[in-house]
């Protein structure tokens, strides 16, 4: 005799409902933990950014008060020695070269101190930060424009800081070394990535320098290291006489909520 009895429809419905409730509850728990992890990560990133800015400010002050002031004092002494050296002296040319080198080191040191102290305010978007940078530099005879493609997004502070500093280095390189009359920054927001491109129409960079990145004068290695810290890819295209293009792209996972405040904006300075 078969004692097995098929479960009633009511029992089967109750069992299905229980499984659905358990699955729903499990999904809610996982979602809440995920949101909590994201909030915790954001708090940690903001804290690390604040600590980093304080430390950079401290280093900049110490460099300015010690090493930088020492170079300035030495350059003044050397300037006096050059002025007192007769024009026909065999050491005149060498002293002038040393003085020029010291002036270049001082200029680059001033730029480095400015970079340590400067950081895009958290209240500004990436494109607004570049506008502020250009207004601060205000170079004569150079045309600059920013193109924004796609729907802009609010970036995590640590991501925006590194993107700004990479773009800043590319813009300063174009101003200092390329002799270009046009500089363009493109910020592209796509569903998969954020892409920042800085290009100029200047003299270009030696391909060996681009591939090796060993020339500290251009700061290429620093840009690569900054890109690596945020999981971005950095590409540099250049040829002598053909201008330079610096591109950095970040996966969309590094980006937070989108904002429509600058959608479709094309602007020039």
Give 125-166 pLDDT, tens digit per residue.
888 889 888 887 767 788 999 999 998 888 888 888 889 989
Report whether 120 contacts 157 (CB < 8 A).
Answer: no
Q: Write out the residue range of the structural domain in which residue 218 sits.
A: 122-268
Q: Are residues 187 and 229 in the same domain?
A: yes
Q: Are residues 14 and 98 in the same domain?
A: yes
Mean pLDDT of 168-180: 84
pLDDT of residue 122: 57
Percentage of the chain beyond pLDDT 90 is 15
> Alpha-carbon distance 127 to 144, whole Å?
13
Q: Are residues 213 and 80 in the same domain?
A: no
Q: Give SS3 for 151.
A: coil
What the block records as the tokens of 15 is: 């069992």
Q: Give the up-direction half-sphere exposure of residue 101: CA atoms within 13 A in the CB hemisphere.
A: 6
CATH code at position 260: 3.30.565.10
Q: Give SS3 for 33.
A: helix
Q: Are residues 12 and 137 in the same domain?
A: no
pLDDT of residue 115: 65
What the block records as the tokens of 20 is: 């659905």
pLDDT of residue 167: 92
Count other Cβ atoms within 10 Å, centred on residue 134: 19
Band of pLDDT at residue 120, cut at 50, 70 and 90: low
> Alpha-carbon distance 180 to 238, whole Å?
13
Q: 98, 117, 94, 105: which is closest to 72 by C-alpha? A: 105
What the block records as the tokens of 65 is: 């008060």
Q: Are residues 238 and 147 in the same domain?
A: yes
Domain membership flag for residue 1? no
What are the residues facing 249 on neighbouring strands?
A: 195, 233
pLDDT of residue 261: 39
Q: Which residues make Cβ contacts (< 8 Å) with residue 170, sequence separation at least 6?
A: 198, 223, 244, 246
What the block records as the tokens of 84 is: 């007192």
- Is the predicted pLDDT of residue 258 greater than 50, yes or no? no
End-to-end CA distance of the chain: 92
Q: Are residues 35 and 51 in the same domain?
A: yes
Q: Are residues 141 and 264 in the same domain?
A: yes
- CA-derived radius of gyration, the chain: 28
pLDDT of residue 250: 92
Q: Are residues 182 and 126 in the same domain?
A: yes
Q: Are residues 29 and 147 in the same domain?
A: no
> Alpha-carbon distance 81 to 77, whole Å?
6
What are the residues facing 246 on neighbouring strands?
A: 198, 236
Report phi then psi at 180, rounded to 5.
-80, 155
Q: Total domain count for the chain?
A: 2
- Is the predicted pLDDT of residue 13 greater than 60, yes or no? no
Domain boundary among 117, 142, 169: 117
Q: Are residues 111 and 141 in the same domain?
A: no
Domain boundary among 89, 117, 145: 117
């Amino acid at each position: 005799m078969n004692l097995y009895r098929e479960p009633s429809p009511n029992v089967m419905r109750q069992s299905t409902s229980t499984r659905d409730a358990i699955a729903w509850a499990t999904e809610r728990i996982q979602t809440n933990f995920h949101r909590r992890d994201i909030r915790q990560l954001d708090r940690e990133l903001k804290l690390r950014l604040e600590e980093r800015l304080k430390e950079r400010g401290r280093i900049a002050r110490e460099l300015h008060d010690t090493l930088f002031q020492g170079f300035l004092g030495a350059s003044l002494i050397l300037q006096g020695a050059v002025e007192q050296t007769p024009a026909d002296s065999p050491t005149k040319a060498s002293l002038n070269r040393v003085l020029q080198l010291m002036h270049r080191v001082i200029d680059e040191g001033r730029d480095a101190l400015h970079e340590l102290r400067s950081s895009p305010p958290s209240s500004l978007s990436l494109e607004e930060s570049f506008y502020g940078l250009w207004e601060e530099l205000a170079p004569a005879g150079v045309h600059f424009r920013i193109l924004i493609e796609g729907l802009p997004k609010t970036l995590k502070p640590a991501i925006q800081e590194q993107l700004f500093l990479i773009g800043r280095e590319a813009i300063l390189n174009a101003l200092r070394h390329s002799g270009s009359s046009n500089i363009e920054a493109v910020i592209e927001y796509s569903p998969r990535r954020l892409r920042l491109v800085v290009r100029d129409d200047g003299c270009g960079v030696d391909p060996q320098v681009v591939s090796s990145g060993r020339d500290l004068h251009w700061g290429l290695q620093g840009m690569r290291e900054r890109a690596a810290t945020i999981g971005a890819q950095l590409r540099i295209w250049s040829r002598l006489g053909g201008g330079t293009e610096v591109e950095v792209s970040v996966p969309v996972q590094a980006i937070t909520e989108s904002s429509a405040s600058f959608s479709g904006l094309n602007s020039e300075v």
